[in-house]
Amino acid sequence: MTNGGTICNTGSKLDAHSTNSTEPTFLVTGIPGLESVHIWISIPFSLMLLITLLGNTAIMAVIWKEQSLHMPMYLFLAMLAASDLGLSLFTFPTMLRIFWLNARELTSSTCFTQMFFIHTFQDFESAVILAMAFDRYVAISHPLHYSSLLTNSVIARIGLVILLRTLSVQVPLPILLRRLCFCHSNVLSHSYCLHPDIIKLACSNTKVNSIFGLFVVLSTMGLDFLLILFSYVLILKTVLNIASHGGRLKAFNTCISHLSAVILFFTPMICLSILHRFGPRLPSHVYVTMANMHFLIPPVVNPIVYVVKTKQIREKMLKFFFKKRPGESQVTFIT
């Protein structure tokens, strides 16, 4: 067996130019040790999916409809909700198929497609969180220039740059995977397909895949995380220079929702990435738990946090869903 388009004698080769090659399949994993109660576990996961769909869709709809929310902070929030929604649609359904039907098998094409969209929305969300950190920095450190610096056209260009950056690093990943042979175990560690997990199953040389995968992580989420930390150093410096204690608290309070998004998104991702590449081989439930925290928790919690902590979003959402219908009675009942 050799690389670069030759035949794999001991397994399956993904050759885009061959119609006779056998397409390998992968088995995704549920929650190890809890297979007997998967039906019961599916109940909270279904509720989480419902909250994610309703919460993020509602935020995007309200921001789209309300002209007063067409401001940088809320436009970035709409992007965050879109990435959370996309991430959920490519993770939750696969898990629920396992819980409900024990349907674990995925063809390589399906697996690579899922992997592409999961990592695409993951990178997109990372970049949006960085853009939101920049938004908070400008709002706190340069409030008088906020409107002139972050215009709608600037926001649109930032969104386009985020999209182009994400696609430029994610498109090569599934292409590079198709040159690999898979001839040993085909059982993945997670309930969905992730790039580091897939290349561990290859029996051909994965050096190029590993190096490029590491480059993608460091040049996107790794760089984003460092720039977010730098932004908060500058924000903290500005906040500490505010004379009044009340002013400092008010300025810091505007960052609480964003800080929660940073912590929820980056903490499990960093731990999972380090363990996959450099850590010792740990029980599978450790990887599954961290992956679930990274991919499933932020889409559920982010809309809740932003609705609770952002008065404008909360008020507009209540108005959007409970607005008075034409002809509705004006009678007020006093008890």
Q: Provide the residue-wise pLDDT of the chain in tens; the chain has 335 residues.
A: 444 433 454 445 554 344 445 678 899 988 877 778 889 989 999 999 999 999 999 999 999 998 888 999 999 999 999 999 999 999 999 999 999 998 999 999 999 999 999 999 999 999 999 999 999 999 998 888 898 999 999 999 999 999 999 999 999 999 999 988 887 678 888 889 999 889 989 888 899 999 999 899 899 999 999 999 999 999 999 888 877 878 788 888 888 889 999 999 998 877 777 776 666 676 667 777 777 888 889 999 999 999 888 888 888 888 877 765 555 444 433 32
User: Would 2 be classed as within a structural domain?
Assistant: no
**Is 297 contained in some domain?**
yes
Query: Has residue 235 been placed in a domain?
Result: yes
For the entire predicted model, the pTM comes to 0.87
Give the CATH number of the domain where residue 154 resides: 1.20.1070.10
DSSP SS3 for 253: helix
Closest residue by Cα to residue 122 from 165, 177, 71, 172? 165
Confidence (pLDDT) at 335: 28
The verdict on residue 308 lying in a domain is: yes
* Predicted pLDDT at 90: 94
Number of folded domains that form the chain: 1
Question: Is 321 part of any domain?
Answer: no
E strands in 168-292: 181-182
User: What is the residue range of 217's domain?
Assistant: 24-312
Tokens representing 304 are 């809740």
Q: Is residue 135 part of a domain?
A: yes
Note the pLDDT of residue 7: 42
Residue 324: C-alpha distances to residues 55, 58, 318, 319, 328 (Å): 21, 18, 11, 9, 7
The residue whose two tokens read 């649609």 is 89
